[in-house]
Structure 1
């Protein structure tokens, strides 16, 4: 691909060769380092491609072999530029387009929230906007680390947050404390610490100094494997220390609390089939109503389908088209039977357990109970599991460097 792009920018020719000694012609080109490609037989003659800069080198070869190479087609950027040299408006438009794309690339135009169950993407986007983080903000004004700390500090049930900028998108991934955090990989010298309270059931250390063993009870934040390694001399004394990226497989026994409740009485929406459709256009975050119908319904759902213009998966532009569907429904009061309520609760619990299994969590005990109390279905209990419990913590220089406190203070007296 890169070779083709290089040839196009430098320019190349499609040449037809006539004569009685094509083999000798090709051999001489090879000896003189003249590169020919796509050589093929065509109607008794030969055709091939050659770089524009090499074409003048064919003259002595053609004279010696009695062949006649003539140009059949000119290809590449130099010839395209020559054909379009009078189209100044075209080049000005291309230049203007590139400038606009560059300017747009300096801003965040889409905020994407991934993960989480209790917080909808809409609620999280609204929270970020209230904290001056919104679509249309310059990327240089966005500090991903500050966003992570803001979300963790505000929502105590969110245990893991990752914020990153890709193209013109701000992508935020969240994991609530009742779900395992995604695995992370250390890239600098660090300790391995406990991600949560647990009992260590297995530890296999590859690099670093293990500080716990199987059966140890640890709390969140405790150092499990130190990234500081002692260097021992011949007399079995520590002569120095060095730091490494601690690496180990650590499995801990821990648990997840599970709680859920819902009323046996509920309201079911029954859609009548009647609906209206409206259309909006958004340009640079300014919305324009193309058409908004009169809504004659008392109760209705609004189903929004927004399509945002983008060049690729990460380069979104501040132009979107929205279709709003207003769908009428009627409310019908109903009540779950005990069997139906327990079935719904079991289905919710199963989805939670399946999510744990997807994250490589081994379930060893399920102590969740389902009960019907005071017209409510109440689900509570804990799930005992085995899972990876490691996290990483950077090593401070003060933890391992020897600081000489007897250095001269500059006073000779």
Structure 2
């Protein structure tokens, strides 16, 4: 595992332990409270690991008792870093000033973004925020907690149902959800519900209007399913037909499914870059040079320095660059067919709308050519088959 911030501040060394009783040495060191970690054995029987600088000198009596020898492979942490920096005083001073300056700059609010407002003007929202002490170039530590700011802004802006305030670095976002005022709905004109396609009816549920079809009936596109006319010609009444009619519909699909798949795999090669971070800004301190991979992905992990439970406004960030390559994978004809049919089903169900169900499938034609499987498939789908047609249009037909 990586060293903690406290271990880095105190300094630690990477060591190699040689001897006949290396395990005894490690056990006694741990029993005495020495801080060792990432201990592993090499093929030559040596032990590699890390030890805090202060505990390194406490190893001497244990080395004498066990007859082991220790070799320092690398010196790490702030004490050694400062020792190297002594030769570059101006650089070190500039680095400190840089972090101090970055911290001060990051403690200011540089910009405020307003999102979600439509009826409320941005100027009105920013004026309310300014009255609460939230405005550009304000010190972050002088701001109220986000929840308090949100509550106070909601009180000042009665047209908002909810207000959220989010601060990220030097940027503040105010999100508004305005109070909804329902618009009056225009009255619907009388209408029929007619068949949108040829089908065999499976379900009829009429909320209003007169159902004129029943399950197992065949209908053609345009046939009336639920009529908007109630009663006879003498005492008739036109209404807005509402309801649900489902039916079995047949869909023909041409499917092309390749026999090779291109997948992304990790090679295990990686490069690690470390940054010093303060106030949302970073300065690279290791891992310089070009990235030696043609294709790669980046993964970042940020650690903030802490003292007990207090999070400090600076830290470090580890960026791991992992090499990837594209690999060709061959699948069987049956696998390619299954994947192609499943993809076609998903596309079909997305197209015909919610509540649809594929009842059956029938492969009409199949061939394999040039590394691909070609299929012509007939799907039997239970789906909604209604569409609206104004009653005036029907009477004019």
* TM-score normalised by length of structure 2: 0.38
Query: Given the two structures, how large is their TM-score scaled by the length of structure 1?
Result: 0.37
